[in-house]
Structure 1
């Protein structure tokens, strides 16, 4: 970052009560401070205890704002701020000192702030309280989340599964979702050795007390363990006992159990550091919950905190926990298990040192990926991308560089446009043509007269128009793709008015020069961009045996050759499948009007229905922007086209660590490493079949490295910025 950013942080949480939500607010401020931000944390409630806020007081650039004590709104009582009041307080603070980013937690709160409209494009929304299943994701919920996504600069997702779910249901979230997992502080005190557990063995639970968190059954663990011949005591830390309408007697029963149950020592609410000291002096952490939470897409902060202390944790076997700790983690409580099952797992941990040590090592290794320093590094990288430095040539200008962008289809420029808009010193306007050859001439003339630089996407009618209406002293850049060379538009362009023609590959640059006779000095190669950061996600189980194709229309994309590859692979191993992410060809009128196109797809579909090797092995997924989540299930991406100017699909697959497999369409070897290019579908199938698990992972890692070095959004944006600024 070139300047110190101002951040406002507010969570719809009471920092007087210690639970995961309150700890999130503390950790977020600590991480932002380490990342170099000037940060104001706004409190929801009057300060009754400084357990969570006192550690923030001395941090560089951190201010704790106390709306009640500072009387920031008239009529504030000792009640917590409502979302309406919180939005008003935040708007007032922003008016006094504008923020660059507003970090919010809580869906109702974020919805209110979005509705009030004071922070459009500056919201970084951390959402965990969203529907986490198809049955809960109503149309009303989708509409609300869509509004939030549209108004937000970033959506902070705690886990990869939560990010993929949000992107699947809310297309507007794609490209804005970034991972923001829990962060745990590194212990600043020596940890005790744990060769042998205490006698009695010390169990520990920290956090809120709620029915689904099994905190009431936990108090009965010492008695249940005594029946198995294990002496135990339970240490608990926390002061937030839920009032649950579904369990009206819970609050009183929980408070009584903490106070009078033999073998239970309740330490009450404690600062986070003291809670960690208490836990460090114990033998086993408890993360055992009710089975209703097994499908949660969230990570447990307390499991990570226990891991940072070297504590093994007893917890439910869930997909999230298996991904975190491994399927063979020894202290999983079986699904739908009761008190006796949990006690049995604890007894085994006490009696089997090897299992206890393995569990401790796994928890420690997992926690090492979620430190406060790791969170600060993540924030620093994300803020660096969201707030890039101004190029030196722009910073020296007396006024912003005016950049106009024109065209009928800007999808290949979308993230570059986002980048241009965030660059200090650039003023960006768009002339969006509603169709290939239809536009508002007055709006286009206004842009041409205003802009210092005009970028026209596609060498079509827009390029012809702007080449004939260029303002003297301005510059004109035209990006040419493959299909324009088969039309008359390049011949109609006034090439003398064009400063640069951008092609996405050397092969098509040569074809352009041969076809048009334009001066070689005017044709430049800048490849397509790939959002490598968004696409770099862990592969789902079974991805190794899944092929992927993105876009199968028109017929020159050659889905039939992709089926040849699949059929050859399934002849050896029936685990192979093909996923296709594409619009069907009949949704493109200009394709479906051609009899030869309809005949091609009729033959392909019939083949899939009648071939014993292909039956049930091809899945068609809905076309959409959730490519990053879709690629998690894909281990190998095919490019079987007759011709392409670049073909983004294999590059996107490579960024996800999928193995690319291409046929030798003209120019492929000038874009992609020849090791990924195969002579025919049979050779392609041979190469993929020869990769064992380790070989597949190594090939995917190499592919990901290559695409980062050549086509990353950061690198391509840098090249474009240099072109805009210096010509």
Structure 2
């Protein structure tokens, strides 16, 4: 990030009331400030208490916009902004002082802003109030989320599980989803050691009071524990009591319980820092909720806040909590998570100091990965990628460098195009050919006359056309993959008009020179890019025993050899499985029209159906762009092809910390470390079988490090940028 980025932040939340969503707004502004952003926080409601807002007003680069007090819309009175009004206010602020990004929270709000169309390409949407299961993901919801993803720049996801769900159901979201977990401030006071608990033992709950959060039954814990011989008291902090139509009378009963229950001391609404001070003087945090919330894909901020204070927490056993604190965390609520079960967990914390200390250490360790500074560093990385620095070579230019991109299939250039468009000092236009040899000559001529540099993807008819129509004072760069060498197009290219030919591997650069006789100085190698940041995700349980293949058509991809590997492994251990992510071969007319191709797949599919070792062990997954979430389930990625120009699958697998396994197709050893290359399927299977859990993880870490060093999107983008602006 070479310049100060201007951010607008608005959440569909009332910052007078302290709950997780209000704390999100405060934390986001704090993190953006630390990341060097100029940040304007726009308030939904008039300020009645400055508990959350006041700590922000003195932060570097931060200003608070108060639409009601500043009369930014007529007739607001004291009512909070509706989504329609909020969109109008934000559009007006942007017109006066344009923002680079608009950070929004709340699905209804984001949908309204998207519909109004003033911020397309600048919206960073933080969404938690979305369907969080396949059963809830209606077609209407999916379509709305698709529109949000298309119009937005990024989607901010609180957890990995939420990101994967979005990418699976909303293809438009793939590549735009970033992790943005909750963050907690580092305490600015000395935190007690908590070695000796208080007498009575102090429980603490902070946040909103709502039926599903078990806040009403919580008030009965001191009395229930007293029956078990444990003196305890409950301290509560917060001022937001839900009026829940599904639970009539809750609001009144909750208020009465906080005010009049023996053993309950209610501290009311407090600034976040004071709430943390009060909690730090207690012995055990409460994060126990109704089991109906166990499937939530969100992460509780209060668990992290308690952890930052060195407090252990009693909470439900859920997949999210197990991922955060471990399966053996000692203070999960047992049984059905009823009131008696919660009391049993509290009693264990009281009577077993070692369990309490282990729980506190786990919570403290988890919180250390969710501090405001960690969030600021994460934002700095996100913003650096979204707003890259201008290349030095274009800063002094009197006008932007004009870059034209042409070709019939730009799928391997998508993220590079995003990078070029984000670079200050570059003006990018695209000439998208309708087919390999079909285009609009007038549009192509216009681009050729306009551009300072033309990049042609594939050395096919477009490369031939542009080599014959480029301006003498412009530059032409062509990228050649593999299949073009089997056709006459390279010989038809006017190579004297070409400044550089890019090949994706040394082997194919050498083959290109041998095939064409072009000057060696005109052929260079830049590998394919891999979005290593997006692919770097925690593995799902059971991934170690799952092989993966991406793309199995045409037959030279050799699915049959992958089945050889699987059968060999399953002969010793039936836990092994193979997942195949690919279009079926019959969806490619140019493959399925060949009798030898149909015969190959007929034999392969019959083998899967009839082999006792393969029964139930091969899964065909839908072709799609959700490769990053799919790779979470994969422990080993196979490349069994007869030949490849590069083969992205093992590189993508490496970036996900899957262990790659390749057969020695020509040129493989010039792209990938030879430790991953095996002479035949039997040797491949033997190598895979030797990896126990520890060595599989360490080997995957090595593969991930190599992928980052060799194929990262950032590194490849820099190489392309240097080539274009030189």
The 3-state SS of whatever aligns with 1:664 is coil
- In structure 1, the partner of 2:634 is 634
Contact 1:401/1:427 (CA < 8 Å) preserved in 2? yes
- In structure 2, the partner of 1:264 is 264
RMSD of aligned residue pairs (Cα, Å): 0.6
- In the alignment, the residues of structure 2 paired with residue 193 and residue 696 of structure 1 have an alpha-carbon distance, to the nearest angstrom, of 38
- In the alignment, the residues of structure 2 paired with residue 341 and residue 627 of structure 1 have an alpha-carbon distance, to the nearest angstrom, of 41
Contact 1:631/1:653 (CA < 8 Å) preserved in 2? yes
- In structure 1, the partner of 2:316 is 316
Shift of 1:471: 1.5
For 1:526-605, list aligned pairs within 5 A: 526-605=526-605
The 3-state SS of whatever aligns with 2:529 is coil
- In structure 1, the partner of 2:130 is 130
The 3-state SS of whatever aligns with 1:346 is helix
- In the alignment, the residues of structure 1 paired with residue 572 and residue 526 of structure 2 have an alpha-carbon distance, to the nearest angstrom, of 41
- In structure 2, the partner of 1:145 is 145
Matched, 1:426 2:426: yes
Contact 1:44/1:81 (CA < 8 Å) preserved in 2? yes
For 1:22-41, list aligned pairs within 5 A: 22-41=22-41
Contact 2:334/2:345 (CA < 8 Å) preserved in 1? no
- In the alignment, the residues of structure 2 paired with residue 150 and residue 61 of structure 1 have an alpha-carbon distance, to the nearest angstrom, of 30
Shift of 1:438: 1.0
Q: Deviations over 1:595-634 (max 9, x none)?
A: 0000000000000000000111000000000000000000
- In the alignment, the residues of structure 2 paired with residue 143 and residue 398 of structure 1 have an alpha-carbon distance, to the nearest angstrom, of 44
- In structure 2, the partner of 1:209 is 209
For 1:391-402, list aligned pairs within 5 A: 391-402=391-402
For 1:285-300, list aligned pairs within 5 A: 285-300=285-300
Contact 2:193/2:310 (CA < 8 Å) preserved in 1? no
The 3-state SS of whatever aligns with 2:620 is strand
The 3-state SS of whatever aligns with 1:370 is coil
- In structure 1, the partner of 2:345 is 345
- In the alignment, the residues of structure 2 paired with residue 336 and residue 107 of structure 1 have an alpha-carbon distance, to the nearest angstrom, of 32
Matched, 1:191 2:212: no
For 1:83-94, list aligned pairs within 5 A: 83-94=83-94
- In the alignment, the residues of structure 1 paired with residue 704 and residue 332 of structure 2 have an alpha-carbon distance, to the nearest angstrom, of 34
- In structure 1, the partner of 2:79 is 79
The 3-state SS of whatever aligns with 2:203 is strand
- In the alignment, the residues of structure 2 paired with residue 687 and residue 359 of structure 1 have an alpha-carbon distance, to the nearest angstrom, of 39
Shift of 1:492: 1.3
- In structure 1, the partner of 2:49 is 49
Shift of 1:334: 2.4
The 3-state SS of whatever aligns with 2:369 is helix
Give the TM-score normalised by the residue count of structure 1: 0.99
- In the alignment, the residues of structure 1 paired with residue 227 and residue 337 of structure 2 have an alpha-carbon distance, to the nearest angstrom, of 18
The 3-state SS of whatever aligns with 2:153 is strand
- In the alignment, the residues of structure 2 paired with residue 473 and residue 429 of structure 1 have an alpha-carbon distance, to the nearest angstrom, of 18
The 3-state SS of whatever aligns with 2:175 is coil
Matched, 1:380 2:380: yes
Provide structure 2 residue ranges, at least 5 long, that are not aligned to the other structure.
none
- In the alignment, the residues of structure 1 paired with residue 437 and residue 589 of structure 2 have an alpha-carbon distance, to the nearest angstrom, of 17
- In structure 2, the partner of 1:283 is 283
- In the alignment, the residues of structure 2 paired with residue 258 and residue 569 of structure 1 have an alpha-carbon distance, to the nearest angstrom, of 61
Contact 2:105/2:126 (CA < 8 Å) preserved in 1? yes
- In the alignment, the residues of structure 2 paired with residue 8 and residue 489 of structure 1 have an alpha-carbon distance, to the nearest angstrom, of 50
For 1:360-509, list aligned pairs within 5 A: 360-509=360-509
The 3-state SS of whatever aligns with 1:641 is coil
Contact 2:335/2:341 (CA < 8 Å) preserved in 1? no
Shift of 1:333: 0.6
- In structure 2, the partner of 1:9 is 9
Shift of 1:195: 1.7
- In structure 1, the partner of 2:645 is 645
Quickly say closer, same or farther: Cα 1:391–1:335, change in 2 above 3 A: farther
- In structure 2, the partner of 1:115 is 115
Shift of 1:336: 2.6
- In structure 2, the partner of 1:704 is 704
- In structure 2, the partner of 1:355 is 355
- In the alignment, the residues of structure 2 paired with residue 609 and residue 123 of structure 1 have an alpha-carbon distance, to the nearest angstrom, of 48
Shift of 1:433: 1.0
- In the alignment, the residues of structure 2 paired with residue 512 and residue 331 of structure 1 have an alpha-carbon distance, to the nearest angstrom, of 63
- In structure 1, the partner of 2:226 is 226
- In the alignment, the residues of structure 1 paired with residue 172 and residue 373 of structure 2 have an alpha-carbon distance, to the nearest angstrom, of 31
Shift of 1:110: 0.4
- In the alignment, the residues of structure 2 paired with residue 140 and residue 194 of structure 1 have an alpha-carbon distance, to the nearest angstrom, of 50
- In structure 2, the partner of 1:518 is 518
Shift of 1:207: 0.2
- In the alignment, the residues of structure 1 paired with residue 65 and residue 417 of structure 2 have an alpha-carbon distance, to the nearest angstrom, of 36
Give the TM-score normalised by the residue count of structure 2: 1.00
Shift of 1:467: 1.1
- In the alignment, the residues of structure 2 paired with residue 254 and residue 102 of structure 1 have an alpha-carbon distance, to the nearest angstrom, of 37
Q: Deviations over 1:659-700 (max 9, x none)?
A: 000000000000000000000000000000001111111110
Aligned residues: 726
- In the alignment, the residues of structure 2 paired with residue 543 and residue 108 of structure 1 have an alpha-carbon distance, to the nearest angstrom, of 37
- In the alignment, the residues of structure 2 paired with residue 669 and residue 628 of structure 1 have an alpha-carbon distance, to the nearest angstrom, of 25
Q: Deviations over 1:168-214 (max 9, x none)?
A: 00011010000000000011111112122111110000000000000
- In structure 2, the partner of 1:691 is 691
Contact 1:479/1:503 (CA < 8 Å) preserved in 2? yes
- In the alignment, the residues of structure 1 paired with residue 375 and residue 20 of structure 2 have an alpha-carbon distance, to the nearest angstrom, of 16
Shift of 1:364: 0.3
- In the alignment, the residues of structure 2 paired with residue 331 and residue 296 of structure 1 have an alpha-carbon distance, to the nearest angstrom, of 19
Range with bigger deviation, 460-469 or 552-561 = 460-469
Contact 1:210/1:242 (CA < 8 Å) preserved in 2? yes
Q: Deviations over 1:216-237 (max 9, x none)?
A: 0000111111111111110000
Contact 1:317/1:335 (CA < 8 Å) preserved in 2? no
- In structure 2, the partner of 1:178 is 178
Shift of 1:335: 5.0
- In the alignment, the residues of structure 2 paired with residue 439 and residue 211 of structure 1 have an alpha-carbon distance, to the nearest angstrom, of 62
- In the alignment, the residues of structure 1 paired with residue 304 and residue 256 of structure 2 have an alpha-carbon distance, to the nearest angstrom, of 29
Contact 1:111/1:148 (CA < 8 Å) preserved in 2? yes
- In structure 2, the partner of 1:103 is 103
The 3-state SS of whatever aligns with 1:714 is helix
Matched, 1:240 2:240: yes
Contact 1:316/1:335 (CA < 8 Å) preserved in 2? no
- In the alignment, the residues of structure 2 paired with residue 341 and residue 525 of structure 1 have an alpha-carbon distance, to the nearest angstrom, of 63
Shift of 1:263: 0.6
Shift of 1:489: 1.1
- In structure 1, the partner of 2:306 is 306
Range with bigger deviation, 611-620 or 186-195 = 186-195
- In structure 2, the partner of 1:625 is 625
Range with bigger deviation, 463-472 or 166-175 = 463-472
